[in-house]
Amino acid sequence: MIRLESVSYAYPHTGKPALTNLSLSIGKGQCVMITGPSGSGKTTLCLASAGILAHEYGGKKEGTVTIDGRDVKSYKDLSDIASNLGIVFDDPEAQLIFTTVEEEILSALERRGLRVDEIEDRLRVIMEMTKLTALKDRAPHTLSGGQKQRLVLAVTLALETGILILDEPTSELDEHGTNGILEILKGLKAQGRTILIVEHKFLRMREIVDTLVVMEDGRIRASGAPDEVIRDQGMQKIVMPDFSGIRERNRGDGVTGIPSPLIRVHGLSHTYGEDIHALFDIDLTISSGEFIAIVGENGSGKTTLIKHFNGLLKATGGSVSVSGKDAAKTTITELARDVGLVFQNPDHMFFADTVREEVAFGVDNLGIPDRDVVIDHALTRVRLTHAKDLYPRWLSRGERQRLAIACVLAMKPAVIALDEPTTGLDGKEAREVMEVLKELQLAGHTVIIVTHSKEIARDCADRVITMENGKIISDILTPGERP
């Protein structure tokens, strides 16, 4: 259905090859999963396969791409291609144009020259399939991440194309949201659709994947039946995240002194607006040198809880104290000296021209002495010294995540809290981030991570706190029974 022959491509502004001599053939009804490090050309491959590179982009292009046996260049324009192929990009927000769920799906249906009754029929079927019927009058920006992703998928399904291309549809979703997407994909595969999916969650998608492709530096490193591909040790590291051994590393050597309580949470409640209860009566003590994972579904209150540690949110009931200071009475700038918070999307903070200046921002804000030494030290810690003069937004997602950590680390907080630090990273990159965090713990920091990943919680953290509906339902020290 899709065929790429010796495709090479370089984006006009960088000139650096994004794809190099790449060939790939996807048969009818096949499900091909593409994985690999961030910045390896996965999204570019999607754009090439959909004919978007050929029609909408400048830059150096070589090789041929065919869809349904026809050269992509012979299609009139994108809407001509869209009658054979549907593509879902990785940012759902940018693909939702209208103000209600139903309107959004209709906007795709009405441009196909269908009859009115056909449209109403398809609308009903698609909303049922993607479980959006109950949400049909909701505004897209009020939906959860999983619901948005299902809606974007629904709009693409409305086009009823034989081929579907999905770019990281589950990267920001929790287990529940990922299951929702997986169920839909299973149904589509059963209908005989051809699916090209960029994903990091191989283990979850395994049952539908026929061919696994691993990319690196714009080339295909491995391609074939999943079991054969992961037989290679190097490939396995990229495809299947493995965090084993991180928790046990150097246990007991680095940490000096007796742990003392740093953060005390007492009877904490938080209510957004008048009636959205996000946290109920939380009691928690976090001591120096701990490595804590907070797990739970989307909307269970994890992010709301950690935002209280640096004063971004103030308790609506109960109290939070950080290093003996009452968080309600201390300014955010003051608390930033004790607690550094790294948000889920690193792009929400970058504005400087170079990586070094970016790190310097927080250091200067707090007036930390030995500025240059501190900045270099932070960049070394996160393994980014080679990139210090680059423009932050040119880095790969994995590097940007580590830069975000450096920005906070350079401010020398006792506690570093991170919201989903492995979003959008492959197995190897995710492990790198977790290793950096472990080293920070060994250097005396307290590390708190919010994560969806059970593997990370099990293999990296010393203590796992599980939240549900704004309450802590379990708080256990990870037993050290593993050798």
Partner 1 sequence: MTEILQYVQKDGFFHRLAPLTKILFVIIVGTMSIVSTSITFLVSVIIALLVIAFIAGLHREVLRQFLLIAVMSVILIFITVITLPGGTTLFVIGGIIPITTGGLLIGIIMTLRFAVLITAIQLFVLSTQPRDLVHTLERMKVPADYTLMFVIALRFIPTLQIEGHRIHEAQLARGYNPGSGVGGKIRSVAPVMIPLVSNSLARSNVLGLTIDLRGYRTKVRTPLRERHLKGLDYFVIVMLVLVGVAFFVFDAYAAGLI
Contacts to partner 1 by CB under 8 A: 52, 56, 77-79, 81-82, 86-87, 89, 91, 93-100, 103, 106-116, 119-120, 137, 139, 141, 155, 307, 310, 312, 331-333, 336-337, 340-341, 343, 345, 347-351, 361-362, 365-366, 393, 407-408, 411
CA distance 162 to 30: 11
Whichever of 50 and 173 has its CB closer to partner 1, that residue is 50
Tokens of 461: 């953290």
Residue 264: phi, psi to the nearest 5?
Answer: -120, 125
Torsion of CA 160, 161, 163, 167, to 10 degrees: -70
- Using a 10 angstrom Cβ sphere, with 0-12 exposed, 13-18 middle and 19 or more buried, the burial of residue 251 is exposed
Whichever of 289 and 311 has its CB closer to partner 1, that residue is 311
Q: How near is the Cβ of 245 to partner 1 at its closest, in Å? A: 31
CA distance 290 to 104: 46
Tokens of 55: 């029609």
Q: How near is the Cβ of 12 to partner 1 at its closest, in Å? A: 13
Tokens of 143: 């939906």
Kind and range of the H or E element at 52?
A: helix 52-56
Whichever of 75 and 202 has its CB closer to partner 1, that residue is 75
Q: Which of 14, 94, 88 is nearest to 46 (CA)?
A: 88
Whichever of 91 and 372 has its CB closer to partner 1, that residue is 91
Whichever of 280 and 361 has its CB closer to partner 1, that residue is 361
Q: How near is the Cβ of 249 to partner 1 at its closest, in Å? A: 28
Q: Which of 154, 157, 161 is nearest to 51 (CA)?
A: 161
CA distance 364 to 377: 15
Strand arrangement of the beta sheet that strand 211-216 belongs to: 85-88, 163-167, 194-198, 31-35, 211-216, 219-224
Q: How near is the Cβ of 49 to partner 1 at its closest, in Å? A: 14
Place of tokens 């054979």: 84
Please say whether the dihedral angle defined by the alpha carbons of residues 243, 404, 355 and 145, taken in this order, is positive or negative.
positive
Whichever of 33 and 408 has its CB closer to partner 1, that residue is 408
Q: How near is the Cβ of 114 to partner 1 at its closest, in Å? A: 6
Q: How near is the Cβ of 211 to partner 1 at its closest, in Å? A: 25
Write the Ramachandran bin of 166: left for phi over 0, alpha for psi from -120 to 50, otherwise beta: beta
Whichever of 220 and 339 has its CB closer to partner 1, that residue is 339
Strand partners, 67: 2, 70
Whichever of 114 and 208 has its CB closer to partner 1, that residue is 114
Q: How near is the Cβ of 339 to partner 1 at its closest, in Å? A: 8
Q: How near is the Cβ of 109 to partner 1 at its closest, in Å? A: 8
